[in-house]
């Protein structure tokens, strides 16, 4: 039987640690405040935003909501982000993506101050990650590192293969596994003979965005498989990019969907919120 990597338990553990840390900060008169900006009322975004606000409340992070209408212009949103950058009471800024099509997401991401970039998407945060400087880590890949470490799975010296090279998962995942001394291969839609590459993996991270794409023949016996994907199957149940039923028996450890990577993303966002204050205090 493979080890089931329990993202629900590990994310709760992280949130409890952060709750303790913010309580201590509060005693020292230091508060943490996250500004959450949503443009329009896409139902999925509203659920994500509410979950983030709930997590803030649990941990003791103040959250300030900015709910803007769909017609908000790029200049108006930029002006709000600039105001939040200047606001000394706001430690972190989160602009919920995706933004309406008429707004250039890259421009908005670049407008957020790198010191308040809790999503870790600003080019400065990405650069810091690659050169090994302290900075905000992209939440989903950072959560995967925590899943591995807290499940007792060593990364050093392992063959790590990532399927997918997106800016929010695949690429930062590569940087983080490299930082942990894994030997890293990144695959994508132009990779020749994907199966041959994925079968080399001791640790296989799948972020391809295709329902149950990775079947048992892509996986080496005894591998650790991390499934980032999030979909609904024909019965409307949540499932991942990995065909769990065929793959799990071949693995030594695997994340389920739901309850694997998903809960870690918010936990690591909360960690980045607290990190805004840790960074400031360390430089005082």
Q: What token pair was written down for 106? A: 């890259």
Other beta carbons within 10 Å of 192: 7
Q: Nearer to ligand NAP by C-beta: 171 or 250?
A: 171
Q: Nearer to ligand NAP by C-beta: 72 or 198?
A: 198
Quote the CA–CA distance of 281 and 260 in Å, as a whole number: 33
Strand 238-239 to 231-232 pairing: antiparallel
Residue 24 catalytic? no
Instruction: Work out the angle between the directed axes of helices 43-59 and 7-27 (0-180°, nearest 10).
Output: 50
Q: Nearer to ligand NAP by C-beta: 134 or 195?
A: 195
Catalytic residue among 96, 171, 241, 243: 96
Position among 97, 124, 216, 230 found at the interface with ligand NAP (CB under 6 A): 230
Catalytic residue among 52, 116, 158, 250: 52
Quote the CA–CA distance of 281 and 25 in Å, as a whole number: 10
Determine if 192 is a binding residue for ligand NAP (CB under 6 A).
Answer: no
* Residue list 111-140, contact with ligand NAP (CB under 6 A): 140
Run of H or E residues at 38:
strand 33-39
* Residue list 261-280, contact with ligand NAP (CB under 6 A): 261-262, 265
Q: Nearer to ligand NAP by C-beta: 81 or 142?
A: 142
Q: What single string gives the DSSP state of each residue in 201-237?
A: -SEEEE---STT-B-GGGS-TT-EEEE---EE-TTS-
Determine if 198 is a binding residue for ligand NAP (CB under 6 A).
Answer: no
- Per DSSP, 162 falls in state E
Other beta carbons within 10 Å of 148: 26
Distances (CA, A) of 87 to 30, 35, 63, 75, 102: 16, 10, 14, 18, 27
Stretch of 14-22, 124-132, 144-152, 206-214 contacting ligand NAP, by CB under 6 A: 206-214
Q: Nearer to ligand NAP by C-beta: 66 or 218?
A: 218
* Residue list 139-168, contact with ligand NAP (CB under 6 A): 140, 163-166, 168
Distances (CA, A) of 97 to 21, 48, 119, 185: 28, 10, 10, 28
Residue 12 catalytic? no
Position among 13, 191, 246, 252 found at the interface with ligand NAP (CB under 6 A): 191
Nearest to 278 by CA among 76, 5, 19, 22: 22
Residue 119 catalytic? yes
Stretch of 93-101, 122-130, 147-155, 185-193 contacting ligand NAP, by CB under 6 A: 185-193
Q: Could you tell me the smallest distance in angstroms from the CB atom of residue 215 to ligand NAP?
A: 13
Nearest to 87 by CA among 59, 70, 66, 103: 66
In DSSP terms, 160 is beta-bridged to: 184, 203
Q: Nearer to ligand NAP by C-beta: 189 or 283?
A: 189
Determine if 45 is a binding residue for ligand NAP (CB under 6 A).
Answer: no
Which residues are marked as active site?
Answer: 52, 96, 119
Binding site for ligand NAP (CB under 6 A): 140, 163-166, 168-170, 187-191, 194, 207-210, 228-230, 241, 261-262, 265
């Amino acid at each position: 039987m493979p080890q089931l990597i329990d993202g629900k338990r590990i994310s709760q553990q992280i949130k409890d640690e952060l709750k303790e840390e913010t309580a201590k900060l509060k005693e020292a008169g230091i508060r943490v405040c996250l500004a959450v900006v949503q443009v329009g009322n896409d139902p999925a975004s509203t659920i994500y935003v509410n979950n983030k606000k709930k997590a803030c409340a649990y941990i003791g992070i103040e959250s300030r909501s900015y709910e803007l209408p769909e017609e908000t212009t790029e200049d108006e949103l930029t002006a709000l982000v600039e105001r939040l950058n200047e606001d000394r009471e706001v430690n972190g800024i989160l602009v919920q993506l995706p933004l309406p099509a008429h707004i250039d997401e890259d421009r908005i991401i670049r407008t957020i101050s790198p010191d308040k970039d809790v999503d870790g998407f600003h080019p400065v945060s990405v650069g810091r990650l690659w050169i090994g400087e302290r900075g905000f880590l992209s939440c989903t890949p950072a959560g995967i590192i925590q899943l591995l470490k807290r499940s007792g799975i060593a990364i050093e010296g392992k063959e790590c293969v990532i399927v997918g090279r997106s800016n929010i998962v695949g690429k930062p995942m590569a940087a983080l596994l490299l930082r942990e001394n894994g030997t890293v291969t990144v695959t994508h839609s132009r990779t020749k003979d994907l199966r041959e590459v994925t079968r080399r993996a001791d640790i296989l991270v799948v972020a391809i965005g295709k329902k149950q794409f990775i079947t048992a023949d892509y996986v080496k016996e005894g591998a650790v498989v991390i499934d980032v994907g999030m979909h609904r199957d024909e019965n409307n149940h949540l499932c991942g990019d990995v065909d769990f039923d065929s793959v799990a028996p071949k693995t030594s450890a695997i994340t389920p969907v739901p309850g694997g990577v998903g809960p870690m993303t918010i936990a690591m966002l909360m960690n980045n919120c607290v990190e805004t204050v840790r960074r400031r205090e360390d430089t005082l």
